[in-house]
Structure 1
Amino acid sequence: MPNPIKFFDLALSHGATISPFVWATKYAIAHKGLEMEVVPGGFTGIMERTGGKSERLPAIVDDGEWVLDSWLIAEHLDAKYPDRPTLIGDPSVKVLTQFIETWLWQTAISPWMTCYIKNYRDWSVPEDHAYVTESRERMFGRKIEDIIVGREDRLPQVPPKLELLRGILKEHKWLGGESPNYADYRALAVFLFCASVADTPPLTADDPLRDWIDRGFDLYGGLGRHPGLKPLFGLELREGDPEPFAKGPTMVSGLVSRNTGPQSTAAETARLKRQS
């Protein structure tokens, strides 16, 4: 058995990891069946903890070798441990995963950050408060207390935009197909980030994404079930809020359905004729 990998965590005061990149790395190491020696900490003091090797996380030390950046870590693990389950497998998987992740950052993380940024700051370890406040207020150009104003109106706008992910996962058990791969971990990391800061659930209790998220959080002995994480499901909608997800056929399901002859397309054809 290889030596445990030294893993530098980035956590909030409740102990749960905050960074999606660090979450993805935790899952990558677990996917390979490797043990972790966790070095805890928050945003400040990273240079000291890493001995000057990095000012950002994730970072790992594997048999004395430092590897920085979540993508480089995943590629390192595949190269060093080819006899263990593959994370990326093919260069095309990396490209498609980066596309999915970029879409999720724009669709989910960006608006969720404006809703939960005060928790992001308040729940960080005390010595991080000044850094988080100054850096995020500079990033957004206004006070944290002003950023969250109107979040009750913004939160219901996010779930309908996740329909692409729902449609794909309706047809496939994982983004990796029959078993999870690095695409699943990068996408799950978005929801793990949200669970670390969400004092109000961002998704409704009946959201179809719940199956994939729950299975993903349960992987590797419940890696995503840290007691510091908050519930993702239970958003209560108000009158006038948009439908959180499609209740019937969607363009996404149409794109992935298979034409095996007139019988397979009859229902959709009839529906389109009725609409016209």
Structure 2
Amino acid sequence: MTIQLYELVGSDSARPFSPHCWKVVMALAHKGLAWESRYVPFTEIPKIEDGSGIVPVIRDGDATVSDSFAIALHLERTRPDGPSLFGGPGGEAMARFVEAWCQTQIHAIIGKAAIMDVHDALAPDDQAFFRNSREARFGMPLEETRERGLSELGKLNARLEPVRAMLRHQPFIGGASPLFSDYILFGAFQWARIIMREPLLGHDDPVLDWFETCLDLHGGIGRAVPAAA
């Protein structure tokens, strides 16, 4: 049975932008698995069959699994014959670190800087939900959150320096070939690429070279959605 993947979209279902959903898209492609995407806006997420209230969610036969990392573990354990997403327990532990680092250091900036771009990409009902929920989360209007995020974009350069140093020795976070750790950081920059007009990386940045390489992986699936115009 083909895996069903629930992905977040805005008013244009051809432009899924969730960083967490992109992690799973890349993981499925890495494993060489077939899947069908079911696109859902913010206000439809609570109606997804597993009741978790988050995306991504997959239905894999009788199993439903939510959360990108849990989905990656599920794919790794149920399809052991396919290419590994972790390369063993050490790679799984490394991916846990990359996930925590990315959430606290990278998403924390992009999420604020891109907040109005996300809002503007949504249908009206979802815009109202998004504004109410995010203004409650950040304690300020979306417009002010965006300005604070844009003022912090310069911090990304320093926060990415460990990745640049690593890429001097190997082409991927996973080493000679990509692992789920790569897809975690890829998801963050794919989110920004699809939703934001402001470039986050300089043209001579090794992280940009790595990201461009990731866009071409698995038949160029990352490039299937164009960048924000």
TM-score normalised over the length of structure 2: 0.91
The one-letter code of the counterpart of 2:139 is: G
Of residues 45, 51, 63, the one that matches 1:65 is 63
Residues 86 and 95 of structure 2 are in contact (CA less than 8 Å); yes or no, is this contact kept in structure 1?
no
Of residues 143, 157, 164, the one that matches 1:145 is 143
- Count of matched residue pairs: 228
Cα shift at 1:56: 1.0
2:128 paired with 1:109 = no
Cα shift at 1:84: 0.8
Q: For 2:118 and 2:25, how far apart are their aligned partners in 1? A: 20
Structure 1 segments (4+ residues) deviating >6 Å:
none
Supply the RMSD in Å over aligned alpha carbons: 1.9
Which of the pair is proportionally richer in helix?
Answer: 2
Aligned partner of residue 105 in structure 2, secondary structure: helix
Partner of 1:273: none
Residues 170 and 176 of structure 2 are in contact (CA less than 8 Å); yes or no, is this contact kept in structure 1?
yes
Partner of 1:40: 39
Of residues 169, 175, 187, the one that matches 1:177 is 175
Cα shift at 1:152: 5.1
The one-letter code of the counterpart of 1:215 is: T
Change in 2 beyond 3 A, CA 1:157/1:69: closer
Instruction: Give the percent of matched residue pairs that are identical in Structure 1 and Structure 2.
Output: 32
Aligned partner of residue 149 in structure 1, secondary structure: helix
Cα shift at 1:81: 1.1
Residues 109 and 194 of structure 1 are in contact (CA less than 8 Å); yes or no, is this contact kept in structure 2?
no
Residues 16 and 226 of structure 1 are in contact (CA less than 8 Å); yes or no, is this contact kept in structure 2?
no
Aligned partner of residue 159 in structure 2, secondary structure: helix
The one-letter code of the counterpart of 1:22 is: C
Q: For 1:59 and 1:222, how far apart are their aligned partners in 2? A: 23
Change in 2 beyond 3 A, CA 1:157/1:79: closer
Q: Which ranges in structure 2 are unaligned for 5 or more consecutive residues?
A: none
Of residues 204, 216, 219, the one that matches 1:218 is 216
Q: What pairs with 1:4-43 in structure 2 (closer than 5 Å)?
A: 4-14=2-12, 15-43=14-42
Higher relative contact order (CA 8 A, sep 6+): 2
Partner of 1:97: 95
Partner of 1:167: 165
Residues 16 and 229 of structure 1 are in contact (CA less than 8 Å); yes or no, is this contact kept in structure 2?
no
Q: Which ranges in structure 1 are unaligned for 5 or more consecutive residues?
A: 232-276
Aligned partner of residue 20 in structure 2, secondary structure: helix
TM-score normalised over the length of structure 1: 0.76
Judge which range, 163-172 or 6-15, deviates more. Answer: 6-15
Q: For 1:224 and 1:36, how far apart are their aligned partners in 2? A: 15
The one-letter code of the counterpart of 1:42 is: P
Of residues 183, 188, 191, the one that matches 2:189 is 191
Q: For 2:210 and 2:79, how far apart are their aligned partners in 1? A: 27
Aligned partner of residue 225 in structure 1, secondary structure: helix
Partner of 1:75: 73
CA offsets per residue over residues 169-217 of structure 1, 9 Å max, x none? 1211111111111111111111112223212111112212122101111
Aligned partner of residue 40 in structure 1, secondary structure: strand
Residues 117 and 196 of structure 2 are in contact (CA less than 8 Å); yes or no, is this contact kept in structure 1?
yes
Change in 2 beyond 3 A, CA 1:81/1:160: same
The one-letter code of the counterpart of 1:229 is: A
Cα shift at 1:150: 5.4
